[in-house]
Structure formats: structure tokens, C-alpha cells
Structure 1
Amino acid sequence: MKLLGRKNDSSRKKDGEQPLNAAVAASAVDPEPGADGRERKTAPKGKPTPKRDAAKRRGPVAPAPLTAAEARRRRKELRGPKLSKEERKAEKLERRASMSERREKMMAGDDGYLLPRDKGPVRRYVRDLVDARRNVLGLFMPAALALIFVMLAVPSVEVQRLLSPAMLVLVLIMIIDGFVVGRKVNRLVDEKFPDNTESGWKLGFYAASRASQLRRMRAPRPQVERGAKVA
């Protein structure tokens, strides 16, 4: 019996066509090229894909250590040969000399060894402006420590009443001086670097934070003297 719209196998054979099952099997075994001209990498049914097959060929993964001693042994093997006492001492001295050299270059203002916040000609110019100025902010820490020492050493009610307003006045003076430093630095930076895109608030905060430190504790080390004219 013939179905409408279909041909039986005998008609297919007569016309020189392959049966439907044979065509499906042939397509599974011999993959056709894709749209880009490359052969498809899909494996036939019942066989692993190329990626899984490659993963199996890598070899077995080393099992996790069962004891702490085995873990230490593996770490020693990864480190390589054990160094002698003289070799360890020489390596330690070399590492310390390298760190000292990097710190010295950083303190000298070498741009390749500075922290990200200190890099660039704009930040260098700001540091020079702050270091050349006599800042009241630099007296904040010594004055605050002196007031705290007096408050603890002289527990008198009258002294406490005098020192509390003095502390508030000191903080107010520091805020005013920091604002003045920030405004001055931003004005001079705009004149020297008209293409500068850094915000004025960041530059002002950077200048005020450097001015609040003692001169000998500033990093990088000051490159200009007090009162010097910064071009």
C-alpha cells in the first residue's frame, strides 16, 4: 500500500536514491562541512566528543594529600632544592638591599617607584608648592599632643575648661589653613597645567594632608627648601 506524498523503498532504489535510514547513518558518520567551509566536529552517536576525549588523554590528576606530612613533602618538592644557611643569608641580604634601594628611589621622587597617588608632574608640582611654604598645618600634631599631655598631667577643672576651647580653636585654625593651601595649589596648578583634568577637591586634599605632616616625615622627601620659589 502506498501512502500519499511518499515513495516506498523500491521506488527510491529505482530512482538511484538512498533509503532514509541509510542517509541518516551516512550523515552521522561523514559530517558535512559547515557554513564556514570547515568540517563539523560533532562526534557520531555513542562516541565521546573531541573535548572530552582530549580531557581523558591528559592523564590522571594527583590525589589530594591525606596527611599533613604528605602536604609538607609536596610543598618542599615544589620549592625545589633546599638552600644552605649561607645561601639563605645571601638571599636575605640581597632582598633587603633591593627593598632599601626601591625605598630610597621612592623617597627621592623617582616616578617609577612612587605610589599611584604621588605619580605625575601635577602631584610633583603640588608637593613642591607645599614643601616651599611655611604651613601652620604642620604644627597640628605637636600642638594636639601637647594639649592632650597637659589635660592628662593636670587634672584640674579650671585647666580642663581652658584646654577644651583651645583645642577647638586649634582645629578651626587648621581647617582654615588647609582651605587656604588647597585654594592656592589649585590656582597655581590651573595656571601651569591648563589641560589638567584632576578635580580640585582631590588636589586640595592631597596638599592639605601633606602640609599636616612634619617635614622630616613626608614621603617622598621634600625636594625644595622652605621659602624657595617654585616655577
Structure 2
Amino acid sequence: MKLPWQKTDGDGTDSTDSGRKPVGSGGSTKVTGGAAVDDPVGSVPADEPGKHPKGYTPPKGRATPSRREQEIQRGVIRDPNAMSTAQASQRRKELKKSMSKEEWKDYKKREREETRERNRIQQERMAAGDERYLPANDRGEEKRFVRDWVDSRRFLAEWVMPGAFILLMIMVVGTFAPAVASASSIVGMIFILYLLVEGILIGRGANRAVRNRFPGTAQAGFGLGFYAFSRASQPRRWRTPRPRVKRGDTV
């Protein structure tokens, strides 16, 4: 059917249909600046809304960091240029093949010495409180304050390890003397009950002190209280990091 405004060519064919593609040919025609441009099948402008499938997430513009990159950022791997485990293993195999038996022995000896020296430096810095070398559980201003708070006070919990050893020896002796065994069990129960009460008091006191020093902190709670008790239950000389304050100091 020809509409009134459509012109007819000499051969009787509509001029509007001369450049039209057959239906189902797999393409569409866009008109840009008066010219017809073929558009491939399924091509949708990137900025056209509502054309993406459900659950579509736009790209974030960068690659997801690998586990190794995340560990370097967190400080788990302190040398960004260090080789991975597989690379180090392959390198050792290649070195072993390229060395004689004596050379390989010397190399392993130097490697042990270097590892021992590296561990010594790490332990020294950890004992000094360098947070780059501390476990994640010991990092943060709140944990540092709790350590100082515990180290500035005296607690009976500090004697839990020596007390447990003494009670064990008394129990061994009690196998030959039943009267000693019964008395030691009573003393042990009283000691354990006192440690339980003191542990609750230490946890509550540490949380109260942290809330006063750091208002609005999210670190306070059962975990922080248990951290304070575990610190207090260690002999002062064995604590890591080593104490920075003296007993009786104000923190």
C-alpha cells in the first residue's frame, strides 16, 4: 500500500523500500545525520539504561588484588619482592642441581645462619613492641594501653604457672601421703576460685580503663578483658612485648 506522500520510482517500486533489508537478516538500520548505518545484531549502547541483565555489576575499573598483594598490604609479607613458595622451591632445586655436594652443604649452613639471625631480629623487635612484627591480636592503641595497664599492677594471676607446677608436685608426693593429697586439693580449689574472681575483676577493670581513655571504641568487650587476663597470668619476665612501665606507674 502506497501512502500519499511516498514517491514511486519508474519501475513501480517504493523508494522507501529500496534500501530496506529483508526481515530476519540479523541487523538493523540507524539513521545518523541523514545517512543509514547498519547496526550489528545485539549491539546496545553502553550508556542506555535498562538494557543490562538482572544482577549485572558494572566493572570497578581495576583488577581484584591477589592474595599475595593483600598480604603485602596487611604486612603479612614484608618484602614485596620476595618469591612465592613455589618459586623458592623451584629455585632451591635449580641451585642444588648446579652445586656440588660440598657447596650445597655450605649453602644450607649459611641459609640456617641467616634464618636464625632473621628470627632473632624479629623476636627482638617483637619484644620491643614494634607493631610491624606483632601478631594481629596485639596491634592497636587499645591493646598497647591494656598491656601498660596490666604491667603497672600486681596480680596473683601472675603466679598461675608456678602455682600449677607446685600443685602438680604436691599431687605426686600425695600418692604416698593421702593426707597431703587431700590438703593440696583443697588449696588448689581455693586458688582456682580466686583466679576466676580475679580474672573477672581484671577484665572489667581493663574495659573500664579503655572506655575512659578511648571513648566510643569498638575494642572493649569480652575479648579485650580476656586479653588483659592472659597478659596478667604470665610472669612479668616472660611477657611479649616486654613491659614498658614499672609497677605503680600511672598509665
Give TM-score scaled by structure 2 length.
0.61
- The equivalent of 1:72 in structure 2 is none
Task: Deviation per CA, 1:192-222: give whole Å up to 9, x if none.
Answer: 1113111322111111111111112211111
- Which of 94, 108, 113 does residue 80 from structure 1 map onto? 94
138 and 90 in structure 1: CA distance in 2 versus 1, 3 angstrom threshold:
same
Inter-partner Cα distance in structure 1 for 2:21 and 2:144:
82
- Which of 95, 116, 139 does residue 115 from structure 2 map onto? 95
| Structure 2 counterpart of 1:81, one-letter code | L
Matches within 5 A, 1:49-60: none
- Which of 134, 141, 154 does residue 114 from structure 1 map onto? 134
Task: Deviation per CA, 1:43-65: give whole Å up to 9, x if none.
Answer: xxxxxxxxxxxxxxxxxxxxxxx
Structure 1 residue runs of 4 or more that deviate by more than 4 Å after TM superposition? 15-21, 75-78
Tell me, yes or no, if the aligned pair for 2:173 and 2:180 is still in contact at 8 Å: no
- The equivalent of 1:215 in structure 2 is 236
Find the residue that maps to 1:112 and give its secondary structure. Answer: coil
Inter-partner Cα distance in structure 2 for 1:133 and 1:151:
31
Matches within 5 A, 1:15-30: 23=25
Give TM-score scaled by structure 1 length.
0.66
35 and 213 in structure 1: CA distance in 2 versus 1, 3 angstrom threshold:
same
Tell me, yes or no, if the aligned pair for 1:186 and 1:203 is still in contact at 8 Å: yes
Task: Deviation per CA, 1:99-143: give whole Å up to 9, x if none.
Answer: 221111111100111111100111011001111111100112212
- The equivalent of 1:187 in structure 2 is 208
210 and 36 in structure 1: CA distance in 2 versus 1, 3 angstrom threshold:
same
The alignment status of 1:151 with 2:171, answered yes or no, reads: yes
| Structure 1 counterpart of 2:94, one-letter code | G
Inter-partner Cα distance in structure 1 for 2:91 and 2:151:
53
1:18 Cα deviation (Å)? 7.4
Larger relative contact order, structure 1 or 2 (CA cutoff 8 Å, min sep 6): 1
Inter-partner Cα distance in structure 2 for 1:215 and 1:187:
23
94 and 129 in structure 1: CA distance in 2 versus 1, 3 angstrom threshold:
same
- The equivalent of 2:152 in structure 1 is 132
Structure whose residues are more often helix by fraction:
1
Tell me, yes or no, if the aligned pair for 1:128 and 1:230 is still in contact at 8 Å: no
Inter-partner Cα distance in structure 1 for 2:155 and 2:147:
13
The alignment status of 1:201 with 2:222, answered yes or no, reads: yes
1:77 Cα deviation (Å)? 7.9
Q: When the two structures are aligned, how many residues end up with a matched partner?
A: 180
- The equivalent of 2:5 in structure 1 is none
Give % identity.
35
Q: Which runs of 5+ in 1 are unaligned?
A: 1-11, 25-29, 38-74
137 and 76 in structure 1: CA distance in 2 versus 1, 3 angstrom threshold:
closer
18 and 149 in structure 1: CA distance in 2 versus 1, 3 angstrom threshold:
closer
Inter-partner Cα distance in structure 2 for 1:209 and 1:100:
24
Inter-partner Cα distance in structure 1 for 2:210 and 2:117:
37
